[in-house]
Structure 1
Amino acid sequence: MAERCYLAIDLGAESGRVIAGLLDGRKIRLDELHRFANGPVHLGDTMRWDVVRLWSEIQTGLAKAAQKYGDSIVSVGVDTWGVDYVLLSKKDEILGQPYHYRDPRTRGLMDAAISQLSRKEIFENTGLQFMEINSLYQLLASRRSSPELFDVADRFLMMPDFFHWLLCGSRVVEFTNATTSQCYHPTQKTWAFDMLRKLDIPTHIFPEVVAPGTSLGQLRESVARRSGLPRLNVVAPATHDTGAAIAAVPAALTGSTKWAYISSGTWSLMGIESAHAILTPKALELNITNEGGIDNTYRVLKNIMGMWLVQQCRKSFERHGASYDYGLLTQIARDAKSFRAFINPDSPLFVAPEDMPAAIRTYCQKTNQEVPDDEGAVIRCALESLALKYRQVLERLEGLSGEKTEVIHIVGGGSQNELLNQFAADACHRPVIAGPIEATALGNVLVQARTSGELSNLADLRAVVRESASVRHYEPQNSAAWDDAYARFINLPALPA
């Protein structure tokens, strides 16, 4: 069977890519056509996204795709991180430079919202984990600081939906990303309009929500002309990168094996796939989130401060004259002494520190632990703490679902960290299957392939992943030592920033 080509525009917090997925009906291979840097831009005292530059890079990638694959390209779709958004006017003007989710403007606004509506009411209306980065609190921040924007705002588009608008003119929001906003009602399956009105957030800006796999229209004629592409179909994949990644977990849908997943990248998103949102008082107490998935499933999960800890340590080491690639960082962590000190990865101290190693040392000092004294000890502290956090979250997820997990799938870029994979198996006492690395791009293009009719269902999609992707297996080791470490870890506080 001749290969058909699907284009994934995959935007992450550190980089963006335009990737071709070549599917022959049974196996898929990926070809990275264009990679470019991403990250916050500091404007005055604010953190923003440079969406104009990102769009320029995307068009460069599209032109490369046209040159290499031409008429074999079937469709294109975008996935990005969650929570961030763009406001458009009725005349399609961008209103302001879009904020980065780590911008400090939302500090205190989660508590302000809870003072108006209870945590219970907000959770029942959204099913989402309480985090100050959520779109809800970003909108409240803009309502306070720049109320004039809402006098002219006509559409709230989340980041991937904004790039779909640039591609084809669509003005809708896709389900998996809508559910990251804390503005979407998980049982009514629409925006939480009553809650939004109570918080004085204009509701007219919220557009139709569409399912993953929806055809959004043809590529704009102007984009096609500049790039050399035909008028491709633009398809909304699972536009939240984690939603796309979980679609590409190589789990069999038959049999009784229960599995959990970790989408490992800047964030570690650990969860289970559920037929419905879990909105129980216990889920609220544990601050669990319910985010949308493929085929009306929900990703019942916890956002964990993931490889961000290591990424920011690496940048700090470089600023101080020590250059490490990620492989070398892993090696020096492996050589460091085990179980010296731990951090609570979700402490506000680690959200946006000026110096991550200093923040880790401060946390250890304030909690009366041994302070990591070199780079290897700092990285080992971070990785061991992440693995112990995985165990804590796994226990809570199993308590909510009433089912014991038999295996953990780790997908995404962080699945390349063999030391963390082994730590996760050890801490959780579960086998770990690591891979595919490119889960997000695979999920993106395979959802497009299903829309085109080349695949029939989610089982077909995951079967292609199992046929195509290489994975590594890790068996639990050293259980007693990890149990002792966990007994210390679970009593650690979440210190304020």
Structure 2
Amino acid sequence: MSLEKHYLALDFGAESARAILGTFADEHLEISEEYRFLTGANLVPTMYPEKVKPNLESDLSLQWDFIRLWEEAKNAIKKVAKEKNIPLSGIGIDTWGVDFGLLDRDGSLIGNPFNYRDSRSIGMMEEAFKRVPKEKIFEYTGIQFTRINSLYHLLSLVINKSPALEIAATFLTIPDLFNYFFTGKAVSEFTIATTTQCYDPHKQDWSTELLDGLGIPRRIFPKIVMPGTIVGPMRTSVAEELGVNVPVIAVACHDTGSAAAAVPAEGHNFVWISSGTWSVVGTNSPEPVINKSSFTNNFSNEGGLEGTFRFLKNVMGLWIVQECRRQWHEDGNEYSYTELTKMAKDAPALVSFIDPDYKKFLRPGKMVNRVQEYCQQTGQPVPREVGEITRAVLEGLALKYRWVIERLEEMIGHKLDTIHIIGGGTKNTLLSQFTADACGKTVITGPVEATAVGNLIVQAIAKGDISSWKEGRSIICNSFEILTFNPGDQKPWNKAYQSLRELMGK
């Protein structure tokens, strides 16, 4: 590729979203952040106070202001394509998984999408197992059990006889909803569809047996398309508003799918960790791994590129640090992530640490108190200082990564030599070193903007500007800084790991 080609990645995260411009030329990719805005969900009244069900925490629900996000997405495109007059060859949108919106028969959005942390899914896994055995659900889908999955939010609508579900004609995950708003085409991209726990990888389609068993109407589920599909040109009305008409491409629309695509490694003998609000720990597989071991260990098979699968487990991630930081801010103490990392580095090592997947860490609010309560309840010294609390979280994450990787290695039958960490969490070099130390493996980090990079590469392949993923990985290696972390003294980490395993058993 000699001539410059420009693509725009709209990368939505739980805290913020960015518009990343990618310019390809001479086997090199240059990226720049052109626009950023906050995305956070809001607590809004959604029912009469007397209508609150026993499983709900209040008459407030955690929802995404989708119309505001849609307006911001358009602003980002206008800034790049119209104000800067940059000719875009395509745009691609990736977001977090599982959340969704519902359209009525005319194609109108029925209310704001709920956030996956909303309390409406509390108790829904147990309700699902009454209708379809847990083992059967895993056999159908191969997806990790967690109440955040779309399946349990849909079941809550069924059980509560939701008026929204009664009039719904189409189910669209968040990136699919953006693609629909831009193009008028209602389809579901493969990688994001698999996160819902409604997809059957054996049939390569929605799991009609599971949906029927739970009473979820199969009529609402749209056609599934593969990453790299050009969804279409923009709606005429949108193109006229923006002053440009850019092809909309279904990338690996699940942000972790795009991030995993940007790992600068060949073959399958490595682990990747997509590090951000969530830590997703996995390896690539040509086929889903659905058996007794993956069921027992609660692992997931999510879609990847070219019909492959990401065999993985979701770990709570840096969400816990984000929420601690928010609480400190509310208490009048403003710390940057750099400051928190420095204080953690200076704190005593391996005194107290958490299991990041402890259930009380899922919900927002008062996270500092929850970390302290966890340490107290598990018989550990209670961290008091900011650095001690942050270090307890980071060390717990590194130790949990080791547990997940050891389970991965057991299930695939061989050792995985190297850990590739990608995404925004790579900026935390202390966590990268902790991971090398805890796991006893070399850690390679980068690119930092892995999700946007994977998004851009898929777009360029879809338009024929890159010939293959082999060329794409070569471009990534030529374009971005890659750092290496070697493991240090294993003895204290081995002792701490045994302690974590005991804590997980409590």
Contact 2:233-2:247 at 8 Å conserved across structures: yes
| Match among 282, 285, 290 for residue 274 of structure 1 | 285
Aligned equivalents of 2:410, 2:319: Cα separation in 1: 28
The amino acid of 1:279's aligned partner reads I
Q: How far 1:3 sits from its partner (Å)?
A: 1.1
Q: How far 1:314 sits from its partner (Å)?
A: 0.5
The residue correspondences of 1:94-243 to structure 2 (distance < 5 A) are 94-229=109-244, 231-243=245-257
Q: How far 1:494 sits from its partner (Å)?
A: 7.5
Change (3 A) 1:32 1:494: farther
Contact 1:271-1:300 at 8 Å conserved across structures: yes
Q: How far 1:68 sits from its partner (Å)?
A: 5.5
Coordinate RMSD, CA, aligned: 1.2
Q: Does the residue aligned with 2:169 lie in a helix, a strand or coil?
A: strand
Q: How far 1:493 sits from its partner (Å)?
A: 3.4
Aligned equivalents of 2:84, 2:183: Cα separation in 1: 20
What residue is the counterpart of 2:438 in the other structure?
Answer: 427
Q: Does 1:52 align with 2:67?
A: yes
Q: TM-score, normalised by structure 2?
A: 0.95
Change (3 A) 1:76 1:353: closer
Can you list the C-alpha shifts for 1:294-317, whole angstroms capped at 9, x where unaligned? 011100000000000110110111
What residue is the counterpart of 1:15 in the other structure?
Answer: 16
Contact 2:323-2:365 at 8 Å conserved across structures: no
Aligned equivalents of 2:65, 2:108: Cα separation in 1: 15
Aligned equivalents of 1:321, 1:483: Cα separation in 2: 38
Number of residue pairs matched by the alignment: 491
Contact 1:336-1:380 at 8 Å conserved across structures: yes
Contact 2:201-2:288 at 8 Å conserved across structures: yes
The amino acid of 1:118's aligned partner reads P
Aligned equivalents of 2:271, 2:258: Cα separation in 1: 16
Q: Does 1:329 align with 2:340?
A: yes
| Match among 396, 403, 406 for residue 385 of structure 1 | 396
The residue correspondences of 1:413-492 to structure 2 (distance < 5 A) are 413-492=424-503
The amino acid of 1:128's aligned partner reads I
The amino acid of 1:10's aligned partner reads D
Pick which of 297-306 and 336-345 moved more: 336-345
Aligned equivalents of 2:162, 2:493: Cα separation in 1: 51
Q: How far 1:403 sits from its partner (Å)?
A: 1.9
Contact 2:81-2:87 at 8 Å conserved across structures: no
Aligned equivalents of 1:280, 1:69: Cα separation in 2: 52
Aligned equivalents of 2:272, 2:83: Cα separation in 1: 35
Unmatched segments (≥5 aa) in structure 2: 46-59
Pick which of 128-137 and 449-458 moved more: 449-458
The amino acid of 1:173's aligned partner reads S
Can you list the C-alpha shifts for 1:230-264, whole angstroms capped at 9, x where unaligned? x22111000000000000011134xxx71100000
| Match among 78, 93, 97 for residue 63 of structure 1 | 78
Q: How far 1:147 sits from its partner (Å)?
A: 2.6
What residue is the counterpart of 1:318 in the other structure?
Answer: 329
Aligned equivalents of 2:203, 2:425: Cα separation in 1: 35
The amino acid of 1:16's aligned partner reads A
Q: Does the residue aligned with 2:34 lie in a helix, a strand or coil?
A: strand
Aligned equivalents of 1:186, 1:25: Cα separation in 2: 38
Aligned equivalents of 1:144, 1:465: Cα separation in 2: 47
Aligned equivalents of 2:501, 2:406: Cα separation in 1: 12
The residue correspondences of 1:73-84 to structure 2 (distance < 5 A) are 73-84=88-99
Pick which of 22-31 and 268-277 moved more: 22-31
What residue is the counterpart of 2:349 in the other structure?
Answer: 338
Q: How far 1:18 sits from its partner (Å)?
A: 1.5
Q: How far 1:151 sits from its partner (Å)?
A: 2.4
The residue correspondences of 1:265-304 to structure 2 (distance < 5 A) are 265-304=276-315
Can you list the C-alpha shifts for 1:186-231, whole angstroms capped at 9, x where unaligned? 11100001111010000000000000000111012222222222x2
Q: Does the residue aligned with 2:290 lie in a helix, a strand or coil?
A: coil
Contact 1:25-1:454 at 8 Å conserved across structures: no
* Greater than 6 Å deviation, 4+ residue runs: none
Unmatched segments (≥5 aa) in structure 1: none
What residue is the counterpart of 1:24 in the other structure?
Answer: 25
Contact 1:128-1:289 at 8 Å conserved across structures: yes
Can you list the C-alpha shifts for 1:254-287, whole angstroms capped at 9, x where unaligned? xxx7110000000000000000100010000000
Aligned equivalents of 1:222, 1:494: Cα separation in 2: 57
Aligned equivalents of 1:25, 1:201: Cα separation in 2: 50
Contact 2:18-2:37 at 8 Å conserved across structures: yes
The amino acid of 1:260's aligned partner reads V
Aligned equivalents of 1:334, 1:146: Cα separation in 2: 51
Q: How far 1:448 sits from its partner (Å)?
A: 0.4
The amino acid of 1:58's aligned partner reads A
Q: How far 1:343 sits from its partner (Å)?
A: 1.3
Q: TM-score, normalised by structure 1?
A: 0.97
Contact 2:5-2:25 at 8 Å conserved across structures: yes
The amino acid of 1:196's aligned partner reads L
Aligned equivalents of 1:2, 1:64: Cα separation in 2: 23
Aligned equivalents of 2:219, 2:13: Cα separation in 1: 29
Contact 1:416-1:437 at 8 Å conserved across structures: yes
Q: Does 1:37 align with 2:41?
A: no
Aligned equivalents of 2:414, 2:253: Cα separation in 1: 29
**Percent identical residues:** 42
Q: How far 1:353 sits from its partner (Å)?
A: 4.3
